[in-house]
């Protein structure tokens, strides 16, 4: 077996950068022996002095100037690990224009600017590897691009954000409030100081954009995705769901609409049956469920984030590109042959729903609300008055039969205006037919 020497340039030495570095150095000899690929770090760029110190790299391998990396003649693959959509876009564009292959963990950039990056890569005959952008420790990108290539994908569900999943798990198993669980996640490093992207579902939406684009063979950028976060889910909701045999997960979903070519793509806190495997993907773990036309149902679980799990994905891309780069360019990406997709309008999405209201604890309130729902054509499956709130109000939990998203939204905005209703109702989807 002939040895292929490949020069690596690393831009960004944060958590994932340092994880990648560790693996690149420690596994180099083993990988060379198994695959014939010899990955040598040529140069790393970082401006943060603390990150530089923590990397323990010798000075000759460090630069403060990322341009020195993307133009270095000995570098074949540029690894972009700075994140965000500003400088990172500039870095990747420059790397491609300088004839480098690129490996990135930057889901936001792909979900927002994939339509810029992939045509440029194609033009330059270079590869952009992005296994690390979704579910770090789970090789699901490779599975969709290669392992499941014989399948038409009908639907794909994912628990794609470890922070949100950690918070919901703590609320479920330890009865913590959202705020307590978030604080603990931050203390343990599972959540960032500004957790907005995680808890508002934005990070999950970036990732489902990438997975859905691969699954359906056209580009579904972030702005097409309907997103709801978990900030309004309370520990009570989680308990009520549990009483009915459900678990609340921040679920990313991409599913072809019935009879339609266009998929629904959404991220929202969702009730799924407690006996589904996906319901048991807990804490910081991620899970991806894929329904393929040939394989049927497959489920992949593992750690979605962290320096080493994500570094593992980065390195697998490096080895793949070093092995096959010259023949891989232009193949199957999230923006195949410039095909832009269009999602189905969420208004038409049908499912069952969970609605939790806080109401004045007075006779006739249940009748009034159920009557109103009935008039609007929403069929109630269960309606239960739960314990009273400290202020004397009562919680009502309603589950509906299958109905349209927009119909429920209309009903909720009417209910919200009622004087007997205290605060905005919470409405969550129930998905019983994961395996449909």
Contact call for residues 9 and 75 (beta carbons, < 8 A): yes
Contact call for residues 156 and 289 (beta carbons, < 8 A): yes
> How many chain residues are in contact with a second copy, going by CB under 8 A?
60
What's the residue count for the chain? 436
Pairing between β-strand 350-359 and β-strand 394-400 as defined by DSSP bridges: antiparallel
Q: Tell me whether residue 141 or residue 227 sits nearer to a second copy (CB atom).
A: 141
Q: What are the Cα distances from residue 47, in Å, to 40, 51, 66?
A: 22, 8, 9
The tokens 């992939």 sit on which residue?
118
The yes or no reply on residue 303 touching a second copy (CB under 8 A) is yes
The interface region with a second copy, picked from 23-31, 204-212, 347-355, 405-413 by CB under 8 A, is 23-31
> Is 97 a residue of the active site?
no
Q: What CA dihedral angle connects 139, 40, 82 and 147, to 10 degrees?
A: -20
Gap between the terminal Cα atoms of the chain = 47
Q: Which of 312, 351, 399, 403 is close enough to bind a second copy by CB under 8 A?
A: 312
Q: Which of 3, 29, 33, 423 is close enough to bind a second copy by CB under 8 A?
A: 33
Return the residues of window 247-276 that contact a second copy according to CB under 8 A: 275
The yes or no reply on residue 298 touching a second copy (CB under 8 A) is yes
The yes or no reply on residue 174 touching a second copy (CB under 8 A) is no
Return the residues of window 180-239 that contact a second copy according to CB under 8 A: 217
Q: Tell me whether residue 231 or residue 298 sits nearer to a second copy (CB atom).
A: 298
Residue 349 is given by DSSP the state -
Check 100, 207, 303, 358 and give the catalytic one: 207
Supply 320's token pair.
């793949």
The interface region with a second copy, picked from 64-72, 134-142, 265-273, 422-430 by CB under 8 A, is 134-142
Q: Residue 84: count other Cβ atoms within 10 Å of its Cβ.
A: 10
Beta carbon of residue 222, minimum distance to a second copy (angstroms, whole number)? 22
Q: Tell me whether residue 319 or residue 396 sits nearer to a second copy (CB atom).
A: 319
The interface region with a second copy, picked from 58-66, 80-88, 132-140, 340-348 by CB under 8 A, is 132-140
The interface region with a second copy, picked from 29-37, 85-93, 170-178, 375-383 by CB under 8 A, is 29-37
Helix (H) or strand (E) holding 372: helix 365-375
Return the residues of window 365-394 that contact a second copy according to CB under 8 A: none
Burial class for 391, CB neighbours closer than 10 Å (0-12, 13-18, 19+): exposed
CA angle 285, 289, 292 (to 5 degrees): 155
Residue 354: strand pairing partners? 399, 428
The yes or no reply on residue 34 touching a second copy (CB under 8 A) is yes
Q: Tell me whether residue 116 or residue 142 sits nearer to a second copy (CB atom).
A: 142
The yes or no reply on residue 158 touching a second copy (CB under 8 A) is no
Q: Tell me whether residue 303 or residue 356 sits nearer to a second copy (CB atom).
A: 303
The tokens 């996640």 sit on which residue?
185
- CA torsion through residues 60, 100, 118, 104, sign: negative
The yes or no reply on residue 315 touching a second copy (CB under 8 A) is yes
Helix (H) or strand (E) holding 68: helix 66-70
Helix (H) or strand (E) holding 182: helix 178-187
Q: Which of 42, 92, 313, 412 is close enough to bind a second copy by CB under 8 A?
A: 313
Q: Which residues are catalytic?
A: 207
Give the binding site for a second copy (CB under 8 A): 1, 19, 23, 27, 30-31, 33-36, 131, 136-139, 142-143, 146-152, 217, 275, 277, 280-281, 292-303, 308-309, 311-313, 315-316, 319-320, 323-324, 326-328, 330-332, 336-337
């Amino acid at each position: 077996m002939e040895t292929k020497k490949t020069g690596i340039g690393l831009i960004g030495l944060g958590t994932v950068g340092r994880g990648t570095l560790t693996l690149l150095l420690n596994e180099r000899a083993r990988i060379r022996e198994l695959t014939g690929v010899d990955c040598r770090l040529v140069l790393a760029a970082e401006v943060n002095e603390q990150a530089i110190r923590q990397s323990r790299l010798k000075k000759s391998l460090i630069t403060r100037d990322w341009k020195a990396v993307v133009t270095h003649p000995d570098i074949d693959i540029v690894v972009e690990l700075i994140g965000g959509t500003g400088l990172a876009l500039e870095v990747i564009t420059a790397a491609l224009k300088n004839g480098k292959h690129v490996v990135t963990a930057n889901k936001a950039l792909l979900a927002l600017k994939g339509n810029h990056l992939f045509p440029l890569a194609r033009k330059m005959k270079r590869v952009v590897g992005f296994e690390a952008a979704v579910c770090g420790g789970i090789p699901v990108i490779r599975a969709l691009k290669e392992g499941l290539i014989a399948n038409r994908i009908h639907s794909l569900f994912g628990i794609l954000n470890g922070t949100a999943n950690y918070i919901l798990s703590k609320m479920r198993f330890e009865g913590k409030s959202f705020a307590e669980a978030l604080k603990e996640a931050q203390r343990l490093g599972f959540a960032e100081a500004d957790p907005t992207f995680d808890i508002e579902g934005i990070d999950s939406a970036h990732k489902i954009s990438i997975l859905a684009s691969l699954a359906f063979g056209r580009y579904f950028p972030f702005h097409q995705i309907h997103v709801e976060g978990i900030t309004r889910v309370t520990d009570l909701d989680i308990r009520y769901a549990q009483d009915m045999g459900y678990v609340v997960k921040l679920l990313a979903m991409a599913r072809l609409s019935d009879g339609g070519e266009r998929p629904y793509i959404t991220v929202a806190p969702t009730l799924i049956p407690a006996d589904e495997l996906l319901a048991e993907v807990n804490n910081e773990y991620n899970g991806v469920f894929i329904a393929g036309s040939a394989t049927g149902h497959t489920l992949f679980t593992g750690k979605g984030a962290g320096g080493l799990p994500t570094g593992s994905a980065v390195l697998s891309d490096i080895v793949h590109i070093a092995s096959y780069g010259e023949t891989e360019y232009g193949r199957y990406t999230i923006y195949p042959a410039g095909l832009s997709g269009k999602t189905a309008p969420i208004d038409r999405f049908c499912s069952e729903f969970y609605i939790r209201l806080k109401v004045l604890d007075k006779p006739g309130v249940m009748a009034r609300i159920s009557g109103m729902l009935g008039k609007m054509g929403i069929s109630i499956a269960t309606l239960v008055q739960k314990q009273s709130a400290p202020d004397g109000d009562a919680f009502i939990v309603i589950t509906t039969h299958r109905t349209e998203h927009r119909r429920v939204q209309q009903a909720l905005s009417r209910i919200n205006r009622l004087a007997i209703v205290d605060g905005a109702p919470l409405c969550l989807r129930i998905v019983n037919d994961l395996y449909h």
